[in-house]
Amino acid sequence: MAKAFSGIQPTGEIHLGNYIGALRNWRPDEGSYYCVVDLHSMTMPWDPDEMRRNTRATAAHLLALGLGEPSRVFVQSQVPEHAELSWILTCLGRMGELGRMTQFKSKGRGRQDVSVGLFAYPLLMAADILLYRVHEVPVGEDQKQHIELTRDLALRFNSRFGPVFTVPEPRISEVGARVLSLRNPTEKMSKSDPDPNSKILLTDPDDVIRKKIMTAVTDSGREVYYDPEQKPGIANLLEIASTLSGVSVEEIATVYRDKGYGAFKGGVADIVIAAVHPLRERVLELLGNPSEIDQALESGREHAHAEAKPLLDAVKQAVGLLVP
């Protein structure tokens, strides 16, 4: 079984894009780790109280998906090896390659008021992954470039200092790797989007989910078919329905082709509600029991730390730092 690592920022409530693009592909296999990457969420302005709340709530989602068994979910800042390895990788990363990261370009290019952390965070992400010698990183499409950078850094390090790191592969689904905003289907669905109708949360009640889907922005036509260029809103709903139901995009489109957008959206809402409803129940149950969350995180922290420490020591030794 391939060992995997992935992370999610506590920047807001978890949405269907996170679930379809990433979380549903995370498995609690032996040796895999899943992390609430709180240090990453400091790359943009943040509120300390919100961060505390979101960190626990994000962990509750991961635990509700069964990823805490056995002790695989932890909070990034509680395992100090992440920040330490990040510094060593910062000294190996190059300004040019970080400047090419499209996420930095879209949020920070040309602005003097963005943090240095926003520029450097792919190096922290590389450290997160490389600490656990994993083979796979299940992520959405938006993270592909960062995994390629991680691979380059691992290869550069190994060729200069010896074979310490495992070189990981991204694992990105073919359908659903980029779920789009329900209000603007040219942008990705995103936690930090301030418009609540742009995204479906995993804690949304059934009637709210239905309303958001029924009012999702689509084009002015009537016919349902898959064309991401001409009909991005319809294509987005088809992909959502396909990934959650296991029925192909083509089959769903054939069923609704001449039935009109209203019937199609109603069918998509049924599929989304059937998938989200049981998750919501479990998340809410856990949120009502914070000590269960904290215990699971403590156990995850111990496991992660036990694995990260010897790897970081090996890195330090390889680069010439004195290991106490």
Report the Cα 81 to chain-centroid distance in Å: 21
Tokens at residue 35, please?
A: 């992390």
8 or 131: CB nearest ligand AQP: 8
- The answer to whether 212 is a known catalytic residue is no
11 or 88: CB nearest ligand AQP: 11
11, 21, 30, 183, 227 from 194: Cα distances, Å? 11, 20, 37, 11, 28
Residues 273-302 touching ligand AQP, rule: CB under 6 A, are none
**Closest distance between ligand AQP and the C-beta of residue 59, in Å?**
13
DSSP 180: B
Give the angle 148-13-115 at the CA atoms, nearest 5°: 55
In one letter, which amino acid is 202? L
**Closest distance between ligand AQP and the C-beta of residue 35, in Å?**
11
19 or 256: CB nearest ligand AQP: 19
Please tell me the distance from the alpha carbon of residue 89 to that of residue 94, in angstroms, as a whole number. 10
**Closest distance between ligand AQP and the C-beta of residue 239, in Å?**
10
Residues 92-131 touching ligand AQP, rule: CB under 6 A, are 103
Output the residue with the shortest Cβ distance to ligand AQP.
21
Report the Cα 296 to chain-centroid distance in Å: 20
User: If you search the block for the tokens 């691992």, which residue do you land on?
Assistant: 154
Half-sphere exposure in the Cβ direction for 233 (13 Å, CA): 20
Catalytic residue among 3, 107, 144, 316: 107
Residues 151-190 touching ligand AQP, rule: CB under 6 A, are 177-179, 188-190
Residues 197-226 touching ligand AQP, rule: CB under 6 A, are none
DSSP H helices in the chain = 16-21, 48-64, 81-90, 95-99, 102-108, 116-130, 144-161, 206-214, 232-245, 249-256, 261-287, 290-319
Please tell me the distance from the alpha carbon of residue 147 to that of residue 94, in angstroms, as a whole number. 15
- The answer to whether 188 is a known catalytic residue is yes
Contact stretch for ligand AQP (CB under 6 A) within 73-81, 140-148, 266-274, 292-300: 140-148
**Closest distance between ligand AQP and the C-beta of residue 7, in Å?**
7
**Closest distance between ligand AQP and the C-beta of residue 223, in Å?**
26
Please tell me the distance from the alpha carbon of residue 107 to that of residue 28, in angstroms, as a whole number. 33
**Per rule CB under 6 A, is residue 61 in the interface with ligand AQP?**
no
By rule CB under 6 A, what count of residues binds ligand AQP? 22
Of 22, 300, 305, residue with least CA distance to 141: 22
**Per rule CB under 6 A, is residue 142 in the interface with ligand AQP?**
yes
**Per rule CB under 6 A, is residue 232 in the interface with ligand AQP?**
no
114, 234, 240, 291, 304 from 11: Cα distances, Å? 17, 28, 23, 22, 22
8 or 213: CB nearest ligand AQP: 8
Catalytic residue among 3, 105, 144, 188: 188
Residues 9-48 touching ligand AQP, rule: CB under 6 A, are 9, 11, 17-18, 20-22
**Closest distance between ligand AQP and the C-beta of residue 159, in Å?**
28
Q: Give the footprint of ligand AQP on this chain (CB under 6 A).
A: 6, 8-9, 11, 17-18, 20-22, 103, 139-140, 142-143, 177-179, 188-192
Positions marked active-site = 107, 188, 191
